[in-house]
Structure 1
């Protein structure tokens, strides 16, 4: 598995229904939405993407799409360990709507998702094998039931001897794909089911965002290059043989 997501959705009703019937997103309304969710930030156009490729944008890039009844944002900054601590202004923007966060990182087998109704958190889960269950708020959704019931265990690797059992009763990325399907209507890995949305058909507009209150990417890159130069030329070491020691 190699799926990663930093995905936020606002919807008047069900996001799945809205995305299934969505047509071309409005560029003007998407730009307005991105600016409203990042007040004071500098926003400039970047290359577009799709929901199939854009759920884990490059650093400093935000993807978005505004359709009637649903708004989508993809940004790495949404990948937070505790979804209940999502910035207040992002939650306030969901007044009268449903808000869904989905974040997943395959390198560390981490999953987090959360759902708000009219600004009220009704479910939040965040877990990984290294850190265990970091957040578990509200009643599990029906799609979670077989995972918590032990029906989706992680099988041992037959190529490993004396392997310890997986640290969780299920693999977070397996539940993550199921959550993605239930909450957004598509999957990134695994076999699509009849009725699933094709994420490659959902266009996302790209934006480069710069926070005026913090260093931008160019400044961070320049700082890194300065640090590397200050370290001087790399020193090389070699192992000496016994003969060299006696010379």
Structure 2
């Protein structure tokens, strides 16, 4: 398990449907989006990225505006508690559903959250072995049930004296969230109609406080 990401999806349509349609980026709208989110910053275009790498370093942002969907990959989405996300990112949703997904394989960290179109938090959950469950707001979604109840496949891999704090692996839950919410995985099973992540172009920007 080596995947990591920190991503925001602003959706007025089904995310997986939009991604499977091989959407073309609206570069003018994308630049305007980044300028709204990073007011008071110097913003400089850099090389394009893609959804295949949703983990830009601090000081860089990859974003794309598509029909029915906007994507922002930013280190600022990688807070331990998803609801610590800066309010400016939530305001940008403006009547759309906002999804946050973040994971880091080095520390087995996973976080996700969903804000409803009215701006309220529908679900937020984050955890890591070192910190335990960091945030748990709202009702678990169906894809979580197998893991929160104890993943039999993962439990079988544990030794009797293994003191791993969870009965499931956070990154397995992270991949299940990707599949359920967005219709793809970074690691794990590939399905025939999965979107080609390398072909979903995101504009790159360097952002530094003015």
Q: Distance in 2 between matches of 1:13 and 1:206?
A: 24
Q: Per-residue CA shift, 1:102-141, capped at 9, x if unaligned?
A: 0100000000000011111000000011111010110111
Are the aligned partners of 1:65 and 1:73 in contact in 2 as well (CA < 8 Å)?
yes
How far residue 154 of structure 1 moved from its aligned partner, in angstroms, is 4.2
What are structure 2's unaligned runs of at least 5 residues?
A: none
- Aligned counterpart, 1:37: 37
Normalised by the length of structure 2, the TM-score is 0.93
**Higher Cα Rg: structure 1 or 2?**
1
2:91 equivalent in structure 1: 92
**Aligned pair count?**
208
Who is 1:186 aligned against?
184
Q: 1:202 aligns with which of 196, 200, 203?
A: 200
TM-score, normalised by the number of residues in structure 1: 0.80
Give 1:110's aligned residue: 109
Aligned counterpart, 2:63: 64
Residues 75 and 154 (structure 1), Cα distance of their counterparts in 2 relative to 1, 3 Å cut? farther
Backbone CA RMSD of aligned residues: 1.5
Q: Which has the higher strand share?
A: 2
Larger RCO, structure (CA 8 Å, separation 6 or more): 2
Runs of 5+ consecutive residues of structure 1 not aligned to the other structure: 213-247
Deviation, 1:50, is 1.0
Kept in 2: contact 1:186–1:198 (CA 8 A): no
Superposed CA deviations along residues 160-213 of structure 1, whole A, max 9, x for unmatched, are xx742321121000000110111122111112123322211211110000112x
Q: Of the candidates 164, 167, 172, which is equivalent to residue 166 of structure 1?
A: 164
Tell me, what secondary structure is at the counterpart of 2:30? helix
